[in-house]
Amino acid sequence: MNPSLEEQIRAKVREGYGAIATTEQGCCSGASCCGSNPEVARDLATKLGYDPAVLETLPEGTNLGLSCGNPQAIASLLPGETVIDLGSGAGFDVFLAAQAVGPTGKAIGVDMTAQMLSKARRNAVSFSERTGLSNVEFRLGEIEHLPVPDSCVDAVLSNCVINLSPDKPQVWREIARVLKPGGRVAISDLALLRPLPDAAKGLAEALVGCVAGASLVDEIRRDAQAAGLVDVAIGIKHEYVAVMENTGDSLYRDILAQLPSGHKLSDYIVSADISARRASSRDAQGYPAGEGPGGGDDIRLATPAPEWHQTSSCCGATETGDVADAKKCC
């Protein structure tokens, strides 16, 4: 993909999700990766397996209905671990992970959208007041260039975000870089069982790339393995698309209209639970600390810096570029 097209995709995603953060309304109606109203978002999260009681611990406005799975269910997070969420939005999975790793652990969210970052940081204040935990941090950055050092996290989470990236192989290389040896991946994302017809793909691209950017299942496996990850497992789940059909989501309804007669959405689009781990010294050689591809010691946006981005460090930066005082990297 040429650089100009990559930046067009990033700009479209940044614009769309910035609007979601500001208005708390999706770019399409119903519930989908484009966002939804609080009632629909809560119902979707419950159907995806999130505990309703745990959802009540989250600050208002945290669940924007952007999920397509439940990475928490396959993460097996432990007290004291450090976890990073790629494309953390308003903080939904970060706050849940923070409770799982407890006060001795840390949950880091990374998002490239300034408005979403501001929203997440406001939510973090409410989260701390509700739970007494102060173990969350939100950092500005693209998931292709994560603002954390090499070999510093125990687990990488992501929920319906990697499909939006214009350079998915680079995302997987970054995941491998930031994981500690033996560290694990727990990702929920949209995937394709077969290519979408051109008409359907073009329609999805007009709606913040909700589905158009999804990879074929075999491509996901290949990218993860090429990045050096091992034990790659992809669980196919048709339930998410069924929920979208039942809620009358406009994006999925319009895509269905573009499919050949007799074909169902689930013949093409599925939610995938993706697990993997970085090889340890016992079974493979991983990236030595400080020698992974891409570095990892700053934000390193791949695209020209927007006005709100000035300087940053792996220790955290505000949406205007101010480095937080007394922050501890990872």
pTM of the model: 0.77
Q: Which domains does the chain have, with CATH numbers?
A: 3-278 (3.40.50.150)
Show the tokens assigned to 11.
């700009």
Which pLDDT score, from 0 to 100, does residue 56 have? 82
Concatenate the DSSP letters of all residues of 255-281 into one string: HHHTSPTT--GGGTEEEEEEEEEE--T
Half-sphere exposure of 165 (CA within 13 A, CB side): 28
Q: Is 110 helix (H, G, I), strand (E, B) or coil?
A: strand
At 236, the pLDDT band (50, 70, 90 cuts) reads: very high
Average pLDDT over residues 93-111: 96
Least Cα distance to 314 among 300, 294, 293 occurs for 300
Cα–Cα dist 242/47, whole Å:
11
Q: Which of the two residues, 123 and 317, has the higher pLDDT score?
A: 123
Alpha carbon distance 226, 217 (integer Å): 14
Q: Which pLDDT score is estimated for 44? A: 72
Concatenated DSSP letters for 239-251? Answer: HHHHHHHHHT-HH
Q: 308: closest CA among 298, 299, 318?
A: 318
